[in-house]
Structure 1
Amino acid sequence: MVVVEAARVFSDGVMFQVGRQLRRGDLSVRAFQQLVHEDHFYASDEDRRARLRYGAVLADGQHVTDGYPFGRDSEGTGAVLMRHGGGGGGGASSYRYTDELWLHPLPPTGPLELVVQWPSLGLPEQRVALPAADMLQAAEQVTALWPD
């Protein structure tokens, strides 16, 4: 299960909190442990293509991913989507993790879709539409505590 839990809006971007939970099912404990930690230990490009991936489709046509190089859009300019941390844990039968994704700059007016895919788990590309207008409205209300 993968779910968008929150969107924290800043003056220059949005931090999305995305939770994921896995159950071991019929896997051995060792196989399950390798699976839940796999997206941290890829060595080859082929391995990277199988890992958990996030992306965003912006109203102006930009497609950004949390991948390489550095989460930039497909042209290497414009918006950036980066994993910014997270945390979680679990035991022998289940695992819960929260990823934080930083989208910079603020999305343009119009539809915004967050995208997730995890090929090694058999999770095909899934999209969720989010209200960019609400994020832009929230950004207008941001108060700088330490102005530049």
Structure 2
Amino acid sequence: MATAASEEIDVLEKAKRVIGPDYVPSEDEPYMNEKQRNYFRMLLLEWKRSIHDAAGQTLQSLQDGPIREPDLNDRASSETDWGIELRTRDRQRKLTGKINAALRRIDEGEYGYCEVSGEPIGLKRLIARPVATMTVEAQEAHERREKISRDD
């Protein structure tokens, strides 16, 4: 069974293929120009659509009927699989909120800039993680502060 992170990467790669190879943001052009904003908007919308499609398939499977495995071990295994599936969908539901927030930032002209420092996040990071809100440095500092507060 694929992990949630690998599923997220697969979905993102599929979204990039749907958008097409016609345009890929480049460091040679002005940062967060209209073409780049449109690229990321299309990427985020396609990512969101694929998440909704997967959720619809899960819902349909749940509606098709209860688990009717005659063997107790098979039933337990099926229930475990369903539990994992539902946790994955919950994680994707939360991701949909982040996608919506990223789309809102695109509309407001704030997308691509760190919410802490105001510096550009960078195209490579945004291509890898389109919902990123901080630069790598700001994210690392945030995670260090979280770790310190957890350790206290």
TM over 0.5: same fold? no
Which one has a larger percent strand, Structure 1 or Structure 2? 1
TM-score, normalised via structure 2 length:
0.22
Please say which structure displays the higher CA radius of gyration: 2
Which one has a larger percent helix, Structure 1 or Structure 2? 2
